[in-house]
A and B are shown apart, each in its own frame.
Chain A
Amino acid sequence: MEGFDVANLFVSIGQVWTGFLVNLGLSSQWIAFVNKLVAALLLTALPVTIVVFTIMGERKIIGRFQDRLGPNRVGPYGFLQTVPDVVKLLTKEIITPTNVDKVMYNVAPALSVIAVILIWAVMPIAPSMIGVDLDIGVVYFLAVSSLATLAILLAGWSSNNKYALIAAFRTVSQLVSYEVPLVLSLLVPVMLASSLSMNDIVQAQSRGWFVILAPISMLIFFISGTAEVGRSPFDLLEADSEIVAGFNIEYSGMRFAMFFLGEWIHAFTFCALTATLYFGGWRGPFVDQVPALGALYFFAKMFILYLIHIWIRATMPRFRIDQMLAFSWKFLVPLALVNVAVMALATKLLAPPDLSASFWATLPRWGGFLGVNLIMAVGTFVAVREVARQARRKEEEVSGRFGSAAVVQE
């Protein structure tokens, strides 16, 4: 117990736990095995635990946004509302419609949760606190999150329901479309850190967060992440006014809850990823002295980003499907392509960060990157304005020619 160090909280807890196992008389192989098992369990439990709080928090906050109280019956200020909800979902009858493809119907909800939880395996939560520091962490996360697409497709198809199938088609086209700008914007932090490992990317941000070096890339990532998660304004996968409910229309009870769970975990997981890739992850003041603080910073950043998420959700109306696809292919993808090219050039031209250099010596580099991003932003703005003007001109031409008819139609 003499080595217990509050600064290295998690390491210390690990030591205590290992000591406990040694006392039980286990061999070192078994200890490693048990440790891995426990770590996996904890990593699985972590997002599932967080989601309980985020659901509650989101409902409260959205309530405030919409000028109402939100849940306020169970517990103090309604803070325990989630508990009866979960109980209700667990105890509901599980209905399996006839003529469904049994295997896929049952696999799909689980897959949708697994795909999201697997991402947490490479998430650096605090210094030296990461499930597994894969040297291809970023590619791993991309690969794993592509499974969520599969889950949705399988669910939609196996339900043997037209609406579910159509919803699945729409969803998949949305997810596939937004995966392109997502991956392209992701290349920028990878280039800046010159590593695919999540841990290395966090380490590389010791001299400043990547959001300062590459704000446009961060915006693209955040927007397409929102679309990947399928939250407002991209929540077309459950556009109840158009396709009844979405790909999960035939699911009930716990199976439905799994989709629900997967989506919510996915939402804040993306916030966590944004925090890791662009906002320095667990980096913050005094982390080098007190590593345990890292987890605090990490979760704080994640929740702040999630707050923005909720804010957007409460404010923005839903996209129409063609608008949504056009936004990805005609705006985000070209911008992301230009962004990658320009940032690659900038990374090549502006000297790589010298960790020993003083803060002031690194300023020109930051300034250069910021300037480049500013130029891109202005260019984008000008281009979009020009396109919009042309579209308006064309529209005026048309309405000038068919002016009365258009008015009548409206």
Chain B
Amino acid sequence: MGISHVLFILFSVLILGGGVMVVTRRNLVQAAGALILTLFGVAGLYVLLEAGFLAAVQILIYIGAIAILIIFAVMLTRRLADEQEPGLNSQWAWALGTAVMALAILVIVIQGTWPLAGGVVGNAPPLTGDSTSRLGVALLSPEQYAFPFEVASVLLLSAMLGAIVIAREKRH
């Protein structure tokens, strides 16, 4: 047990605690706040996995943009009466069963391939070179991911236009 294990447990608690709050909180702004905690925890895991760039981008995009967008949407679509209404729908018990079943299957599968009892020390190959610059090279070299990269930019552009068109107030 080193410092990284302690940090991992800390972040996991943050992630899962936040996740539980996200799906159970009746107050949606609080749920969004919990979502931010979860996203922070995920960023922390990226740091532990030595993907610093991804961690920064996670905070920049997820917390700086998506979470704020979500809070905006919550505030723009809020009715005061909502606070008293239940947060979960009538079939939540079924949903819970499904989720638990999924978890059980996933745990069994993971346990079958990478057993938890394999020890507290993971052995990963050493990281060579600067992974951020390698990521940049991979994203922009034509024989690697330049094409998906461009497609992603087109996707973003069209999503932006679509969002504007959908959400714009119709002028008469």
- List the interface of chain A (C-beta within 8 A of B): 101, 103-104, 134-136, 139-140, 142-144, 146-147, 149-150, 153-154, 157-158, 165, 169, 172, 176, 179, 196
Chain B residue, CB-CB nearest to A165? B75
- Establish whether residues B67 and A150, one from each chain, have CB atoms under 8 Å apart when the complex forms: yes
CB proximity of A353 to chain B, nearest CB, Å: 19
B residues less than 8 Å from A165 (CB atoms):
75
Chain B residue, CB-CB nearest to A196? B132
Chain B residue, CB-CB nearest to A194? B133
- Establish whether residues B132 and A157, one from each chain, have CB atoms under 8 Å apart when the complex forms: no
A residues less than 8 Å from B102 (CB atoms):
none
CA A134 – CA B52 in complex, angstroms? 9
- Establish whether residues A157 and B63, one from each chain, have CB atoms under 8 Å apart when the complex forms: no
- Establish whether residues B59 and A146, one from each chain, have CB atoms under 8 Å apart when the complex forms: yes
| Total A-B residue contacts, Cβ distance less than 8 Å | 64
Chain B residue, CB-CB nearest to A158? B29
- Establish whether residues A157 and B75, one from each chain, have CB atoms under 8 Å apart when the complex forms: yes
CA A169 – CA B132 in complex, angstroms? 35
Contact with A along B28-71 (1 / 0, CB 8 A): 01100100100000000000000011001111100111011001
The listed residue (A136, A154, A158, A172) touching B132 by CB distance below 8 A is A136
CA A143 – CA B72 in complex, angstroms? 19
B residues less than 8 Å from A176 (CB atoms):
65, 68
A residues less than 8 Å from B130 (CB atoms):
135
Instruction: Please provide the 5 A-B residue pairs with the shortest distance between their CB atoms, ordered closest to farther.
Output: A146-B64, A143-B59, A143-B60, A139-B56, A143-B56
B residues less than 8 Å from A135 (CB atoms):
52, 130, 132
The listed residue (A136, A150, A158, A179) touching B56 by CB distance below 8 A is A136
The listed residue (A101, A147, A154) touching B64 by CB distance below 8 A is A147
CA A157 – CA B27 in complex, angstroms? 12
Chain A residue, CB-CB nearest to B52? A136
- Establish whether residues B64 and A150, one from each chain, have CB atoms under 8 Å apart when the complex forms: yes
